[in-house]
Amino acid sequence: MTKNTINHHPSEALLADYASGAMGAARSLVIAAHVHACPRCRALVETAEAAGGEMLEDLPAAEMGADALDAVLARLDTPAPQPAPTAKAEAPADWIRVPDEVAQAVSRKRWVAPGVWIAPVDTGRPGGPLSYLLRVGAGMRMPQHTHDGCELTIVLKGAFADGEQLFAAGDLAEADDDIEHSPHITGDGECVCLVSCDNRLIVKDWIGRVVATYAGI
Ligand SMILES: [Zn+2]
């Protein structure tokens, strides 16, 4: 069921940040899901990665500090991050494809209100950047809310409308604290989104409260 109907893409700045590897873990999950679903952005990321590689090759050798080798060796000695749990989690088949960490989060879902569940995604940094799955039932409206800092949302299943704009599976919504809105889920069925932000969430609204409670922040 490949639907090439993605209308909302990350900015080129976000894609470049992602391609460079500098993007935080939480936001990278959202961009990774979009890039997998979107041939246009996948091509842009591949181009940026290739360009980044060439830039590294062009760097003069003198740029490297005398202690660079020690630093690299020290990093090699650092234990690798804990491997993912052995159980290979599968996200529901009617979602767009998601990174493994996101699929594993499904087992942590908790119903927090009628029609709404939330599942925190383990980005390997407890207390750090926040990433969570949010499921809202068909036809429901989210309360008016704002964001602290930049927040990225990708639709994994279903669709929501925000003002004049419709966000369907694969679409990415970027919101910052200038935006105050009240998206509503279309009547066709449930909507599941992956939401990530590299800033700590400032609890202001009901979504913030339930996320803070269930995401363990
Ligand atoms: Zn795209």
60 CA from centroid of ligand 1 (Å)? 34
Evaluate if residue 188 carries a pLDDT over 60.
yes
The pLDDT value given to residue 130: 78
Q: Where in the chain is the domain with CATH 1.10.10.1320?
A: 12-77
13 CA from centroid of ligand 1 (Å)? 13
27 CA from centroid of ligand 1 (Å)? 15
3-state SS, the chain, equals: CCCCCCCCCCCHHHHHHHHHCCCCHHHHHHHHHHHHHCHHHHHHHHHHHHHHHHHHHHCCHHHCCCCHHHHHHHHHHCCCCCCCCCCCCCCCCCCCCCCHHHHHHHHHCEEEECCEEEEECCCCCCCCCEEEEEEECCCCECCCECCCCCEEEEEEECEEEECCEEEECCCEEEECCCCCECCEECCCCCEEEEEEECCCCCCCCHHHHHHHHHCCC
Evaluate if residue 18 carries a pLDDT over 60.
yes
47 CA from centroid of ligand 1 (Å)? 14
Q: Among candidates 162, 209, 172, 216, which has minimal Cα distance to 193?
A: 172
Evaluate if residue 94 carries a pLDDT over 90.
yes
Q: Where in the chain is the domain with CATH 2.60.120.10?
A: 100-214
54 CA from centroid of ligand 1 (Å)? 24
Summarize pLDDT for 43-81 with one digit per residue, the tens: 999 998 888 767 666 666 555 555 666 665 666 666 655
Is residue 190 packed enough to be buried (19+ CB in 10 Å), middle (13-18) or exposed (0-12)? middle
43 CA from centroid of ligand 1 (Å)? 9
Greatest mean pLDDT range, 107-111, 150-154, 174-178, 204-208: 107-111
Summarize pLDDT for 136-158 with one digit per residue, the tens: 999 998 655 555 666 899 999 99
The pLDDT value given to residue 1: 45
State the Cα–Cα distance between residues 139 and 129, nearest whole angstrom.
30
How far is CA 38 from each of CA 28, 100, 148, 154, 179, rounded to the nearest angstrom? 15, 18, 28, 12, 25
Quickly state the pLDDT bin for 22 (edges 50, 70, 90).
confident
Q: Specify the range with the lowest mean pLDDT, choosing from 32-36, 171-175, 180-184.
A: 180-184
Give me the architecture of the 100-214 domain, per CATH: Sandwich (2.60)
Q: How far apart are the first and last CA of the chain?
A: 36
Between residues 112 and 155, the one the model is more confident about: 155
Average pLDDT over residues 196-206: 61
Summarize pLDDT for 123-140 with one digit per residue, the tens: 876 666 678 899 999 999
What's the chain's average pLDDT? 79
46 CA from centroid of ligand 1 (Å)? 13
Residue 33 amino acid letter: A
The pLDDT value given to residue 113: 83
34 CA from centroid of ligand 1 (Å)? 6
Give me the architecture of the 12-77 domain, per CATH: Orthogonal Bundle (1.10)
14 CA from centroid of ligand 1 (Å)? 11
The pLDDT value given to residue 217: 43
Quickly state the pLDDT bin for 102 (edges 50, 70, 90).
very high
